């Protein structure tokens, strides 16, 4: 089993912390939280023996340099202590330079660095017992960028961004661009700000560098608005479809399902667990029971609600694609509502969406049948009364939050948005499309691979969404023509 992390809060150091996204990719099961993964530049010993003001003074001087870049060059298992330490090895000339300067500045401040070991740049990922298996396997090479240095004194951490006044000005410009876009602050926005600072520090003599930071802030803010509008649209249509579904499912009698299942399986009170055969029988019975919805005269209300969700999603997918394209071209004043109305009016294949709605309805029924069958088999096997089993089934398929509905509609909306955006890109002659993750802590390895392996031709773009609750979407890898969105730009005061 993994060792508990030692309490190192009594020490002090100068350290580099990777960006949150990079730290998340380095984190391993049972290891350090992403926010605690760091590269120690110089460990200064016990905090009680070091003046915190002197340590911070060194950090401030080191922060005058451009961002430090390096690369992960594999991993290692450090042994010889009370516990083994699993680390990611880091390599780069910048690390050698900042280590040398840190040692000189610490010495000038009268701070003596313990020299019990040589210096091997690394990021600790996890503490492990000597017999614990390797939790990493193979750590691929990847770039690392550090936009600031931290002075850590006991439990107090003070961060100093590299670049001094230019970094602060770039952050302010980025924040101004974000405010113009009206987008909320998210993990992606924070990461985008650090990227804007890094770009500014790489080109300190460029007279347009702060304008670029402003543009980056606006574009990142636009993506934040894309996700905000998507969440709002999804929640609204899930609620509408759920309301119609509950009316239809509420007309069914779950006690009929219980009785039919018992007749079909020859159920007796001696049954103690739902074996595989009984579970399959329960699923078949539940599916036949819920299939009655398809013949209900009001089934068209369900199909109509799903169709409305798919059309709204397609219009929103095209609108979002145009909004991002406008920001990529540094065009201000994109009118979201005007564009959405136009995109919705241009969706002429209504019959196609109606056909898709039947497929989504079938997905809902199949998923709800699985939920009902699980309750049915488990409760009857445990000796529950028929009324109790019927009540459990009703809760599963007709409760306030019907998972079968929310997952199916959410996924269908994501597919409709993504396909509509791809259709727009192809109509405008775009050759390459990138996969964009939401960057919000819910990014799965498959989606991260899709983003890392892009861009793609529109026809070869991976299936999107990749999984239920996926928030990824296609984004243009090269600019769209201004003519695609010019009619939706309004003067900005």
Give the residue, 183 or 222, on which the prediction is more confident.
222
User: Rounded distance, CA 284 to CA 289, Å?
Assistant: 9
Report pLDDT for 95: 94
Report pLDDT for 209: 57
> What's the number of domains the chain is made of?
3
User: Rounded distance, CA 480 to CA 35, Å?
Assistant: 37
What is the share, in percent, of the chain residues with pLDDT greater than 70?
82
- At residue 166, does pLDDT exceed 80? no
- At residue 247, does pLDDT exceed 90? yes
- At residue 15, does pLDDT exceed 90? yes
Helical segments of 84-154, H only: 93-108
- At residue 213, does pLDDT exceed 50? yes
Give the model's confidence band at 348: pLDDT under 50 very low, under 70 low, under 90 confident, else very high.
confident
Domain boundary among 126, 161, 196: 161
Tell me if 491 is assigned to some domain: no
Helical segments of 115-163, H only: none
Do 100 and 241 fall into the same domain?
no
- At residue 385, does pLDDT exceed 80? yes
Cβ proximity of 224 and 194 under 8 Å: no
Least confident window among 195-199, 237-241, 370-374: 195-199
User: Rounded distance, CA 41 to CA 148, Å?
Assistant: 12
User: Rounded distance, CA 291 to CA 100, Å?
Assistant: 72
Cα 220 from chain centroid (whole Å):
15
Q: What is the CATH number of the domain that holds 129?
A: 3.90.1140.10
Residue ranges making up the domain that contains 190:
165-224
Mean pLDDT on 269-296: 79
- At residue 152, does pLDDT exceed 80? yes
Which distant-in-sequence residues (6+ apart) come within 8 Å of 349 by Cβ? none
DSSP 364-409: HHHHHHHHHHHHHHHHHHTT--HHHHHHHHHHHHHSSS-HHHHHHH
Do 281 and 135 fall into the same domain?
no
Tell me if 436 is assigned to some domain: no
Tell me if 471 is assigned to some domain: no
Do 178 and 95 fall into the same domain?
no
User: Rounded distance, CA 154 to CA 165, Å?
Assistant: 28
Do 185 and 234 fall into the same domain?
no
Angle (CA) 40 44 50, round 5°:
140
Do 142 and 44 fall into the same domain?
yes
Tell me if 460 is assigned to some domain: no
Give the model's confidence band at 187: pLDDT under 50 very low, under 70 low, under 90 confident, else very high.
low
Report pLDDT for 259: 87
- At residue 23, does pLDDT exceed 90? no
Tell me if 467 is assigned to some domain: no
Closest-CA residue to 87 (of 98, 95, 79): 79
> What is the DSSP-derived secondary structure letter of residue 334?
B
Do 240 and 91 fall into the same domain?
no
Cβ proximity of 432 and 451 under 8 Å: no
As a whole number, the mean pLDDT across the chain is 84
User: Rounded distance, CA 327 to CA 223, Å?
Assistant: 10
Cis amide prior to 455 (ω within 30 degrees)? yes
Do 246 and 342 fall into the same domain?
yes
Domain boundary among 428, 445, 470: 428
- At residue 109, does pLDDT exceed 60? yes
Do 150 and 20 fall into the same domain?
yes
**Alpha carbon distances (Å) from 336 to 181, 341, 395, 438, 487:** 11, 9, 39, 20, 11
Mean pLDDT on 155-179: 73
Tell me if 247 is assigned to some domain: yes
Give the model's confidence band at 265: pLDDT under 50 very low, under 70 low, under 90 confident, else very high.
confident
Tell me if 290 is assigned to some domain: yes
Give the residue, 155 or 179, on which the prediction is more confident.
155
Report pLDDT for 1: 45
Report pLDDT for 427: 92
Report pLDDT for 176: 67
Is 465 buried (19+), middle (13-18) or exposed (0-12) by CB count in 10 A?
A: buried
**pLDDT tens digits, 442-473:** 567 788 888 888 899 988 999 998 888 888 88
Tokens of 152: 């850590």
Report pLDDT for 72: 92
User: Rounded distance, CA 256 to CA 383, Å?
Assistant: 18
Tell me if 461 is assigned to some domain: no
Do 413 and 302 fall into the same domain?
yes
Mean pLDDT on 45-60: 93
- At residue 56, does pLDDT exceed 60? yes
- At residue 202, does pLDDT exceed 80? no
Least confident window among 57-61, 89-93, 260-264: 260-264
3-state secondary structure of 2: strand
pTM of the model: 0.59
User: Rounded distance, CA 393 to CA 374, Å?
Assistant: 9
User: Rounded distance, CA 419 to CA 218, Å?
Assistant: 25
Cβ proximity of 360 and 244 under 8 Å: no
Cβ proximity of 407 and 468 under 8 Å: yes
Helix and strand totals (H; E) in the chain: 14, 10
Do 19 and 147 fall into the same domain?
yes
Do 178 and 151 fall into the same domain?
no
Domain boundary among 111, 133, 161: 161
3-state secondary structure of 69: strand
Do 206 and 234 fall into the same domain?
no
Least confident window among 60-74, 110-124, 342-356: 342-356
């Amino acid at each position: 089993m993994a060792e508990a992390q030692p309490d190192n809060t009594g020490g002090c150091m100068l350290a580099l912390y990777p960006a949150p996204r990079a730290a998340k990719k380095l984190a391993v099961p049972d290891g350090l939280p992403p926010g605690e993964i760091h590269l120690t530049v110089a460990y200064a010993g016990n905090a009680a023996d070091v003046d915190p003001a002197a340590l911070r003074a060194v950090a401030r001087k080191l922060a005058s340099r451009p961002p430090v870049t390096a690369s992960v060059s594999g991993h290692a298992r450090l042994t010889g202590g009370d516990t083994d330490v699993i680390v990611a090895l880091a390599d780069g000339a910048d690390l050698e330079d900042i280590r040398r300067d840190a040692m000189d500045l610490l010495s000038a401040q009268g701070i003596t660095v313990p020299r019990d070991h040589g210096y091997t740049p690394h990021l600790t990922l996890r503490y492990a017992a000597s017999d614990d298996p390797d939790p990493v396997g193979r750590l691929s090479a990847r770039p690392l960028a550090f936009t600031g240095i931290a002075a850590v004194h006991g439990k107090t951490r003070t961060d100093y961004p590299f670049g001094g006044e230019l970094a602060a000005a770039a952050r302010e410009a980025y924040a101004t661009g974000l405010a113009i876009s009206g987008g909320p602050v998210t993990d992606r926005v924070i990461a985008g700000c650090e990227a804007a600072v890094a770009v500014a520090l790489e080109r300190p003599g460029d007279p347009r560098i702060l304008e670029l930071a402003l543009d980056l802030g606006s574009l990142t803010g636009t993506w934040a608005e894309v996700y905000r509008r998507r969440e709002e649209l999804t929640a609204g249509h899930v609620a509408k479809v759920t309301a119609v579904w509950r009316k239809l499912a509420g007309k069914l009698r779950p006690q009929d399902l219980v009785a039919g299942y018992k007749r079909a399986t020859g159920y007796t009170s001696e049954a103690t667990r739902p074996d595989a055969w009984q579970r399959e029988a329960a699923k078949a019975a539940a599916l036949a029971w819920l299939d009655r919805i398809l013949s209900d005269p009001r089934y068209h209300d369900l199909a109509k609600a799903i169709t409305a969700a798919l059309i709204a999603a397609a219009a929103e997918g095209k609108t979002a694609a145009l909004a991002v394209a406008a920001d990529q071209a540094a065009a201000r004043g994109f009118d979201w509502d005007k564009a959405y109305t136009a995109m919705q009016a241009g969706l002429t294949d209504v019959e196609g969406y109606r056909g898709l709605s039947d497929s989504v309805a079938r997905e809902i029924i199949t998923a709800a049948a699985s939920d009902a069958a699980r309750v049915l088999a488990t409760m009857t096997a445990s000796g529950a009364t028929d009324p109790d089993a019927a009540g459990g089934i009703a809760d599963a398929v007709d409760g306030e939050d019907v998972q079968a509905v929310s997952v199916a509609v959410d996924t269908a909306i994501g597919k409709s948005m993504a396909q509509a955006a791809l259709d727009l890109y192809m109509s405008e002659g775009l050759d390459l499309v990138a996969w964009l993750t939401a960057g919000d802590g819910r990014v799965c390895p498959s989606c991260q691979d899709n983003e890392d392996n892009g861009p793609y031709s529109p026809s070869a773009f991976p299936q999107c969404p990749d999984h239920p609750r996926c928030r990824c979407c296609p984004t243009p890898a090269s600019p769209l023509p201004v003519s695609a969105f010019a009619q939706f730009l309004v003067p900005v005061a």
